[in-house]
A and B are shown apart, each in its own frame.
Chain A
Amino acid sequence: MDIRLALHAITKHYGHGDNQVAALQNISFSLAEGEFLAVQGPSGSGKSSLLNICGLIDQPSEGQYYLNGQAVEQLSVKQRCDYRRREIGFIFQRHQLLPAMTVYENIAYPLFLNKVKAKQIKQEVTLLLKKIGLDHRCNHLPKQLSGGERQRVGIARALIKRPQLVIADEPSASLDHQHAHASLMLMRELNEQQGASFILASHDAFVVKHCDRNINLLDGSLAGEALGLGIL
């Protein structure tokens, strides 16, 4: 299996001089194509910083980051933006749906950004809406949806463009067990169908159990690594 992502000795500092804080220290790991990786750790352990770097939202202070074999840690703001638009899907803890867009428009937006033809957008969005069971809600605004429905829309938005990498930050944090399970199953199903690699930050043991592998962060350092299903 090919390597999707590889981090070598990644360090991230915030602030300067005496006020400098190390959010990540000497982090190295890799992720294979289609792999489902959980990142665990207590609050403040650096999970979000790691996800931001992996998702090209932030840049590391030191170290090398390879995405599909290409060094990406020094890409310009515009290059990172283009990369995110084409190759990376994000699932946010608070779903972050665009409030003035309908369910349909939120899911279609990444395809629109990638200049996919309107007819194809309609076909793909309609199919995905059916899959997540929200085809009857396509013209609703996010504020008219329940928490679980919003999260499903967020997942659909992240996956609609068939990204190579999906970054999910606490995707089940705002959901009850039933919705968390449904969301995870959806991600897993799309992961298997589309072959996307997933990095999930989660405290949820249920989520971790369904991942191929998990890594633990403690005070910004890698504390341990384990195979998900086998060990837990």
Chain B
Amino acid sequence: MSFFLIAVRNILRNRTRAISTILIIAVGLAALLIGSGFMLSTYDSLQEIAKRVEGHVIVLKDESVPAQGGVDQQLTLPNWQAIQDELWDDDRVLRILPRARFEGLIRHGHNSAAFFGTGVDPKEEFRVYGPFLKTTAVLDPWLSDQDMPDVVLGTQLAETLSATAGDELTLHTLRSDGQSTEVMVRLAGLFHTGTPELDDHTLMVNLSTVSRLLGSEKISQLSIYLEHYEDAAAIKQLLQAKLEGVLVQTWDQRAELYDKVKAQYDRIFGVMGIIILVVVFLAISNTIALAMYQRRDEIATLGALGTPSTRVYANFILEACLIGVVATSLGMLIAYATANAINLASLMMPAPPGRSEGYPIYIYISWPHYLVTSVVLIAIVAFASFIATYNNAKVNIAKALS
């Protein structure tokens, strides 16, 4: 005797109610999978941005160790070339980017503005950071450091200065001994980060331009990019053991935005998930309770024939689980098709707070994630049906059969 087949027949007998329950669960699951797929892709892209911007491992001057002599603005990391040479021998290391932060005033004709600048190794910098930096009107992508060095400005800063590519500008800043220094630069291009606060004040020059301007070989940080970012902890440990007076951090220790966004999304999708699970719980409880009410004489007959109540529970729970399996399978298919459609449509999200432009919506499709979510949902269906069955299976046989 196949109770599986009997359960299937019972579901088909009550197909209208079963279909509506299946649709509720399927749509709920699809919403959950699409929402969490979007959440996971957002986490990944934020992680990727954090890694690209800061590096997988970051070496800084340990601020708890007193500096020897004066401080060249934010240029605090000495002997970085030695660290770089040491790291190049490690196969796990892909790129090493020195970055020198400095600040000052930039002038173009009668217009001037404060800036936050970064001296970079242009070739390596644009190779790593390039996909996240929209450059326009680039005359020379390599930020030459000749007699008149090149500079690239954030679009908003260029607008403030009314500067266009090819214009000559003047950078004013302070050396470590407090003397004012300036250099004429040529505007080689513009970049656009998508964050107005950055585009308003930032510029980039060649690292050697910063060294020449400030008279210091020091840098602010060394950003290390690895073949596999999973090696970050090992590299950090290695550097900490070898180097003294430096602070070594992994990308996640400096990813404040990622942490904040993740915490917020976790809350949003956590609440959404709970709501969907409650809806599924109520839908299946209602379906089973209704089914049991309508099938009271059948339950009474089972009882009269001497069927143990556990067998009656098992019959209804099996039916609920079958509904759950069909519904979650359908829900996974809906989620898969919808996610593919959204990904292919290249839809854009509106700009988030603090950003000037939106970003493409991408929904992650992960079958292990789909399966785990479906199993959780089926477990809830089984639990809901058990509660409904337990509360409704105690039928007065004599009354139900009269």
Contacts and interface: CB of A to CB of B under 8 A. Distances in A.
B297 A141 contact: no
Given A96-B401, A100-B9, A82 B306 contact: yes
A113 B308 CA distance: 9
- Secondary structure class of chain A's binding surface, majority of residues: helix
Given A48-B402, A99-B13, A101-B6, A81 B298 contact: no
A106 B397 CA distance: 19
Nearest to A111: B1
A55 B304 contact: yes
A98 B301 contact: yes
B344 interface: no
B298 A98 contact: yes
Contacts of B309: 81
Interface of B: 1, 6-7, 9-10, 13, 297-298, 301-309, 311, 397-398, 401-402
Nearest to A84: B306
B307 A113 contact: yes
- Secondary structure class of chain B's binding surface, majority of residues: helix
Nearest to B301: A96
Nearest to B2: A105
Interface string A70-92: 00000000100111111010101
23 contacts: A48-B402, A52-B398, A55-B304, A57-B304, A57-B398, A58-B397, A78-B308, A81-B303, A81-B308, A82-B306, A84-B305, A85-B307, A86-B306, A88-B306, A92-B301, A96-B401, A98-B301, A100-B6, A100-B9, A101-B9, A108-B1, A113-B306, A113-B307
Contacts of B307: 81, 85, 113
Interface residues of A, number: 30
B254 to A, nearest CB: 62
Nearest to A52: B398
A82 B1 CA distance: 20
A52 B297 CA distance: 15
Contacts of B397: 52, 57-58
Contacts of B13: 99-100
A66 interface: no
A82 B305 CA distance: 9
A90 B13 CA distance: 25
